[in-house]
């Protein structure tokens, strides 16, 4: 199997193209300073992950800024912090400020010359628009949780993605789903018959970061430590 066998790259955005862990930690600073916990960055991310997954399961139709605000409230309760209500909304609105990984724009611009590019993201349209400005590429289709009414890893999201790609003229065999999260992306993508490429952004770190651990051992077809590495691999294949 080769990268050049595929016609469409479908992307997770946050954790893959956008450095959501850095963005989250920055946006959580006011709450962390008020809590005075002294816990590690990895523990902060792990606690966020547990609350986010629970909230997404409980309120799958809630728009992502409101969902993030609820997660912020849950963390504040857990950490015994009382904040003004607007503080939760500020956290929920922080997504457009989260930084892109340094290699994402140039790698996407290269890949755009060879593939259709499609987003499958657990955010809303407005939040993604702010992030898209940082990525510097026009995607051929954008599928968000707002459009679908549920959050990954719900298989409904991947069926929606396959239908969106079909409207671009390609079947599932043409798709390579490209993502960091084994929990949100690789396990459900493989379950619906998609091939996948793992962008292992956390290859130098222990643990699962801002995602909950996947069940079992999800498989994938390619592994790269950055999107730039994936682009170089494609260039090598293409000669």
Rounded Cα–Cα distance for residues 137 and 64 (Å): 23
16 touches 201 (CB < 8 A): yes
- In order of 74, 148, 192, 224, the CA distances from 125 in angstroms are 24, 11, 24, 28
**Three-state SS for 173?**
helix
Give yes or no: 12 in active site: yes
Catalytic one among 12, 19, 140, 154? 12
Rounded Cα–Cα distance for residues 9 and 179 (Å): 10
Q: Is the CA virtual torsion 190, 229, 22, 47 positive or negative? A: positive
Rounded Cα–Cα distance for residues 221 and 239 (Å): 21
- Residues in Cβ contact with 82 at an 8 Å cutoff, skipping those fewer than 6 apart: 76
Angle between helices 41-58 and 64-78 (to 10 degrees): 120
Rounded Cα–Cα distance for residues 66 and 187 (Å): 26
Rounded Cα–Cα distance for residues 67 and 177 (Å): 25
Give catalytic residue positions.
Answer: 12
């Amino acid at each position: 199997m080769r990268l050049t066998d595929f016609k469409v790259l479908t992307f997770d955005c946050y954790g893959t193209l956008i450095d959501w862990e850095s963005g989250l930690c920055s946006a959580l600073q006011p709450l962390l300073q008020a809590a005075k916990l002294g816990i590690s960055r990895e523990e902060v991310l792990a606690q966020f992950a547990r609350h986010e997954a629970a909230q997404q399961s409980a309120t799958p139709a809630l728009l992502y800024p409101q969902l993030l605000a609820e997660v912020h409230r849950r963390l504040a309760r857990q950490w015994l912090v009382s904040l003004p209500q607007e503080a939760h909304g500020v956290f929920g609105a922080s997504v457009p400020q989260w930084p892109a990984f340094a290699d994402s724009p140039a790698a996407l611009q290269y890949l755009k010359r060879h593939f259709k590019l499609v987003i499958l993201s657990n955010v809303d349209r407005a939040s993604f628009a702010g992030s898209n400005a940082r990525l510097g590429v026009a995607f051929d289709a954008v599928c968000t949780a707002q459009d679908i009414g549920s959050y990954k890893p719900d298989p409904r999201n991947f069926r929606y993605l396959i239908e969106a790609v079909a409207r671009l003229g390609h079947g599932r065999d043409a798709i390579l789903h490209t993502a960091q999260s084994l929990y949100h992306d690789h396990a459900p993508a493989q379950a619906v018959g998609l091939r996948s490429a793992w962008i292992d952004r956390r290859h130098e770190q222990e643990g699962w970061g801002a995602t909950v651990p996947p069940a079992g051992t999800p498989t994938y077809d390619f592994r790269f430590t950055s999107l730039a590495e994936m682009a170089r691999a494609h260039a090598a294949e293409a000669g």
